Amino acid sequence: MASGKKFKVVPWLLVILPAWLIVSACFALVKYFENEKKTEAEAEKRFSQSVSIPLIADDLRKIIEVIGERNSARPGQLQSAAAMIQGLLGPSNTGYEVKSIDGPAGFPILQATIPGADEKAAAVWLVTSYDSPVGSRGAEKNATGLAATLATAQALANSSPLHSIHFLFLPHANETDSPIIETALATVNLIKAAPNPKAILCIEAMGEAETLILSSRDTEALPTTEFEGLGQVLGAEVVCLGDDFDLASKLFEMGLPALRVATRPMLLPDEKDDNLPFAPTVASSTGRLIELVERLSR
Q: Using DSSP, state whether 96 is helix, strand or coil.
A: coil
Q: Are 15 and 125 in contact (CB under 8 A)?
A: no
For 137-171, the pLDDT digits (tens) are: 999 999 999 999 999 999 999 999 999 999 999 99
For 170-211, the pLDDT digits (tens) are: 999 999 899 999 999 999 999 999 888 999 999 999 999 999
> 154 and 224 share a domain?
yes
Q: What confidence tier does 238 reach under pLDDT thresholds 50, 70, 90?
A: confident
d(CA 204, CA 172): 13
> 144 and 203 share a domain?
yes
Check which CATH number belongs to the domain holding 149 and give it.
3.40.630.10
> 141 and 265 share a domain?
yes
Q: What is the DSSP string of 99-156?
A: EEE--GGG--EEEEEE--SSTTSPPEEEEEE----TT---IIIIIHHHHHHHHHHHHT
Angle value at C-alpha 122, between 120 and 127, nearest 5 degrees = 130
Per cent of the chain over pLDDT 70 is 82
Residue 17 structural domain: 1-44
For 244-255, the pLDDT digits (tens) are: 568 998 999 999
Element of type H or E holding 272: none
> 158 and 99 share a domain?
yes
> 39 and 53 share a domain?
no
> 22 and 57 share a domain?
no
pTM for this entry:
0.84
Q: Say which residues have a Cβ less than 8 Å from residue 222's Cβ, sequence separation at least 6.
A: 214, 216, 233, 259
Smallest CA-to-CA distance from 113 within 34, 180, 193, 218 is with 193
Average pLDDT along the chain:
87
Q: What confidence tier does 236 reach under pLDDT thresholds 50, 70, 90?
A: confident
> 34 and 167 share a domain?
no
> 256 and 276 share a domain?
yes
> 217 and 246 share a domain?
yes
pLDDT at 217 over 90: no
> 209 and 64 share a domain?
yes
Smallest CA-to-CA distance from 147 within 241, 295, 263 is with 263
> 203 and 257 share a domain?
yes
| Structural domains of the chain, count | 2
